[in-house]
């Protein structure tokens, strides 16, 4: 969130020709879901925070949260919401299109969901094919509930609307109960005796939260569920294949059992941005939402009392001189022309962004559970978002999006290509304007070019450091993989262990592989894609070994040990080479930097002595020749000290 706010501020500063410095990158954070703030008891504000899925089952307290208003931290209290009054009805599509793997995956996911329900929660199960039937009545979770899920069989048509009405009938009229309906289907209604209007009206009149999971099977038809969710404000979770059902059910379970209530005393008035940050171990989640606080009471009007005393005589001072300040660098006509041109460009840019239509959200459509919360709803945020979207559109049209996105992934940068382009252009315009105003157009142009070069250097350095760090951790990764396999874990479980135990960047890359595999991507393809991202040839050999093992079998742990031993020996030799060549590399750094250090010292000690170089053509020729020879020397020394083994 803070990265995007920094982009917003820098983009606006550049457009208005102000001096702005982009904020440094903050730690990577996942979206945190926070329900709209309750302001009825102002100044006491109540927030309902849904902790991320990674923190299910972990007790959180005040030390894990940070709450602020418009950037100012507030004192607060945190309380976990009880789950004893939780009532859940699972409605599972058992029509003919769910036969085979879809229904089996749905059973496994629903079973895992029910097992994660806390003590005291009540669960009912409904299966609907040609008709909607109650499989397990609403009650505490037991072995009968799990056995009922296992009895579901797929056949016939789909009675979606009848299933919704049947599910709503299962909720008793219990005070203070949290009622939730989890609906899984892959198609529209075909044989219900009730209609869409009946189902929609029943959902709107019932105090029930609906989660609609859409399995996108070959017979997928999402029109009915789309209308239901848009009309009733339900949450819609797509599942691209049966393997993704577990993730969808896990996400819903996390939102049901991992809810916290945050209370604090507000000191703000009017539109206020509330920021919530959750940190626990390696998990960092952020959210920002807007709330309308009551306006302050108007100040009492003090009546004006006329002073009966005569007014004092006016004091007559000497006239001000005609010229208060000596004309400076900005007094020339070129500064006025340049400022006018830049201001005109900025106004055109702002007008285009404001007038251009942006992406609109259908009225009444709520944010889905899988969508990140909005960063901000202010003018600057909308301006930055439109600029980023426009940059993305131009990059897509020119075919440059994939290349830049791949470079950002290799560098571990979490920004979109359009956001990076907006940030770079904003810094370029700021540098150009600042350099032009202070030292002239030539210096401004040079400063703008240097700014773009700095962006490229930063991206390259981050990529090299991340690649080197991954290569350094690879031997430990293979050792951990082999150990996990020997303890009886499967390959995917072992990769998940690496993602949770290893530091960055290994944890991030292997975590992405695990997520892609769970979403249906072939494990070998996901591992090869990771090897290309981190540019590691050793990892490609490991992936080939894993692929061969998956085809013909064998002791994969022993193979990984052998490969890890080879990599460990190669790394030891590489470190020895680095140590032996350290003297040459240090000498190269000293020889490269010494001329600049000496020139800087002379310019500080005796500026007139060094200034002779810039007084005539001969001096400029000598400076140019020295620069060319310096560049040649740098490349020559780098080639000498670079050891290839």
**DSSP sequence for 499-553:** HHHS-TTHHHHHHHHHHHHHTT--HHHHHHHHHHHHT-HHHHHHHHHHHHHHHH-
Q: Which residues contact 186 (CB under 8 A, 6 or more apart)?
A: 93, 95, 97, 98, 102, 214, 215, 216, 217, 219, 220, 221
SS3 338: helix
Residue 483: both structure tokens together: 């150990």
The C-alpha angle with vertex 409 and arms to 404 and 410, in degrees rounded to 5, equals 100
Q: What is the DSSP letter of 63?
A: G
Low-confidence ranges of the chain (pLDDT < 50): 1-26, 300-307, 311, 313-331, 351-376
* Spatial separation of the C-alpha atoms in residues 417 and 394, rounded to whole Å: 11
Residue 135: both structure tokens together: 């499989």
Q: What is the model's pLDDT at position 153? A: 85
* Spatial separation of the C-alpha atoms in residues 17 and 626, rounded to whole Å: 36
Q: What is the model's pLDDT at position 515? A: 92
Element (H, E) at 127: strand 122-128
* Spatial separation of the C-alpha atoms in residues 11 and 543, rounded to whole Å: 43
Phi, psi at 396, each rounded to 5°: -65, -40
Residue 566: both structure tokens together: 């080879």
Q: Which residues contact 522 (CB under 8 A, 6 or more apart)?
A: none
Q: What is the largest CA-CA distance in the chain?
A: 108
pLDDT digits (tens, 9 = 90+) for 585-635: 888 888 888 988 998 898 888 888 887 888 888 888 888 898 899 889 888
Q: What is the DSSP letter of 555?
A: -
Q: Domain 86-238 is of which CATH architecture?
A: 3-Layer(aba) Sandwich (3.40)
Q: What is the model's pLDDT at position 628? A: 92
Q: What is the model's pLDDT at position 103? A: 83
Q: Which long-range contacts (CB under 8 A, 24 or more apart) does 498-503 make?
A: 502/473, 502/476, 502/477, 503/473
* Spatial separation of the C-alpha atoms in residues 406 and 410, rounded to whole Å: 6
Residue 240: both structure tokens together: 């691209």
Nearest to 185 by CA among 224, 155, 153: 224
Residue 279: both structure tokens together: 């940190």
**Number of Cα atoms under 13 Å in the Cβ half of residue 303:** 2
Phi, psi at 519, each rounded to 5°: -85, 0
Q: What is the model's pLDDT at position 83? A: 61
Q: What is the model's pLDDT at position 99? A: 82
Residue by residue, DSSP assigns 85-99 as: TEEEEEEEE-SGGGT
pLDDT digits (tens, 9 = 90+) for 376-421: 456 666 777 777 777 777 777 776 677 777 778 778 787 878 788 8
Q: What is the model's pLDDT at position 13? A: 44
Provide the total of helices (H) and of strands (E) in the chain, helices listed first.
Answer: 20, 15
Residue 219: both structure tokens together: 């017979």
The C-alpha angle with vertex 57 and arms to 51 and 60, in degrees rounded to 5, equals 55
Q: What is the model's pLDDT at position 644? A: 66
Strands 132-140 and 122-128, bridge-based pairing: antiparallel
Q: What is the model's pLDDT at position 320? A: 40
Residue position matching structure tokens 């590489």: 574
Q: What is the model's pLDDT at position 339? A: 61
* Spatial separation of the C-alpha atoms in residues 515 and 496, rounded to whole Å: 9
* Spatial separation of the C-alpha atoms in residues 236 and 32, rounded to whole Å: 17
* Spatial separation of the C-alpha atoms in residues 200 and 190, rounded to whole Å: 16
* Spatial separation of the C-alpha atoms in residues 444 and 431, rounded to whole Å: 6
Cβ atoms of residues 556 and 549 within 8 Å: yes
* Spatial separation of the C-alpha atoms in residues 152 and 258, rounded to whole Å: 29
Give Cα 539 to chain centroid, integer Å. Answer: 27
Could you tell me where the beta strands, DSSP code E, fall in 281-322?
283-293
Taken in order 559, 562, 566, 571, the sign of the CA dihedral is positive
Could you tell me where the beta strands, DSSP code E, fall in 206-295?
209-215, 235-239, 259-265, 270-280, 283-293
Residue position matching structure tokens 């262990």: 497
Name the CATH superfamily for 468-580: Type II secretion system (T2SS), domain F (1.20.81.30)
* All structural domains of the chain with their residue ranges: 86-238, 468-580, 591-641
Characterise 440 by phi-psi region: left (phi > 0), alpha (psi -120 to 50), beta (else).
left
The secondary structure of the chain in percent helix, strand, coil, rounded to multiples of 5, reads: 55, 15, 30
């Amino acid at each position: 969130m803070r990265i995007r706010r920094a982009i917003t501020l820098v983009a606006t500063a550049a457009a208005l020709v102000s001096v702005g410095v982009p904020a440094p990158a903050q730690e990577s954070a996942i979206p945190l879901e926070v329900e709209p703030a309750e302001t009825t008891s102002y100044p006491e504000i109540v927030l309902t925070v849904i902790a991320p899925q990674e923190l299910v089952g972990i007790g959180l307290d005040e030390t894990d949260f940070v709450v602020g208003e418009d950037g100012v931290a507030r004192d607060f209290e945190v309380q976990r919401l009880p789950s004893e009054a939780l009532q859940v009805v699972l409605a599972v599509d058992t029509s003919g299109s769910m036969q085979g793997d879809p229904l089996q995956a749905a059973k496994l996911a629903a079973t895992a969901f029910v097992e994660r329900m806390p003590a005291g929660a009540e669960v009912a199960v409904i299966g609907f094919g040609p008709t909607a039937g109650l499989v397990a009545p609403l009650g505490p979770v037991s072995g009968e509930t799990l056995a009922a899920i296992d009895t579901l069989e797929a056949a016939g048509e789909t009675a979606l609307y009848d299933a919704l009405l049947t599910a709503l009938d299962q909720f008793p009229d219990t005070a203070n109960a949290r009622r939730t309906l989890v609906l899984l289907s892959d198609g529209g209604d075909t044989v219900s005796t009730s209609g869409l209007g009946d189902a929609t009206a029943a959902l709107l009149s019932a105090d029930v939260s609906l989660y609609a999971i859409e399995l996108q099977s070959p017979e997928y038809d999402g029109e009915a569920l789309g209308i239901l969710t848009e009309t009733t404000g339900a949450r819609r979770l797509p599942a691209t294949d049966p393997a993704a059902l577990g993730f969808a059910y896990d996400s819903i379970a996390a939102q049901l059992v991992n809810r916290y209530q945050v209370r604090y005393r507000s000191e703000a008035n009017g539109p206020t941005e509330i920021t919530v940050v959750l940190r626990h171990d390696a998990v960092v989640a952020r959210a920002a939402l807007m709330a309308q606080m009551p306006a302050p009471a108007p100040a009492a009007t003090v009546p004006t009392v006329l002073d009966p005393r005569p007014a004092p005589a006016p004091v007559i001072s000497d006239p001000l001189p005609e010229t208060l300040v000596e004309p400076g660098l900005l007094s020339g006509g070129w500064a006025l022309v340049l400022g006018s041109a830049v201001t005109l460009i900025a106004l055109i840019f702002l007008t285009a962004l404001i007038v251009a239509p942006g992406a609109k959200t259908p009225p009444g459509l709520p944010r889905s559970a899988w969508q990140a919360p909005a960063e901000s709803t202010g003018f600057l945020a909308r301006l930055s978002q439109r600029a980023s979207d426009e940059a993305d559109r131009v990059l897509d049209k020119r075919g440059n999006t994939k290349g830049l996105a791949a470079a950002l992934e290799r560098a571990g940068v979490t920004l979109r290509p359009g956001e990076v382009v907006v940030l770079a252009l904003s810094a370029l315009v700021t540098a150009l304007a600042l350099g032009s105003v202070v030292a002239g157009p030539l210096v401004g142009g040079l400063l703008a070019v240097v700014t773009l070069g700095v962006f490229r250097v930063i991206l390259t350095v981050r990529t090299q450091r991340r690649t080197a760090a991954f290569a350094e951790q690879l031997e430990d990764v293979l050792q951990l993989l082999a150990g996990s396999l020997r303890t009886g874990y499967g390959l995917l479980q072992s990769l998940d262990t690496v993602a949770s135990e290893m530091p960055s960047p290994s944890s991030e890359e292997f975590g992405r592989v695990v997520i892609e595999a769970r979403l249906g991507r072939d494990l070998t393809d996901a591992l090869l894609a990771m090897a290309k991202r981190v540019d590691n040839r050793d990892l490609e050999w490991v992936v080939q070994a894993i692929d061969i093992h998956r085809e013909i079998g064998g002791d994969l742990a022993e193979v990984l040990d052998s490969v890890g031993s080879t990599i460990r020996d190669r790394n030891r030799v590489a470190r020895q080479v680095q140590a032996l060549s350290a003297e040459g590399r240090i000498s190269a750094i000293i020889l490269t930097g010494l001329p600049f250090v000496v020139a800087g010292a002379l310019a500080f000690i005796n500026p007139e002595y060094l200034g002779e170089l810039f007084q005539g053509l001969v001096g400029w020729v000598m400076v140019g020749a020295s620069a060319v020879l310096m560049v040649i020397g740098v490349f020559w020394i780098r080639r000498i000290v670079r050891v290839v083994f």
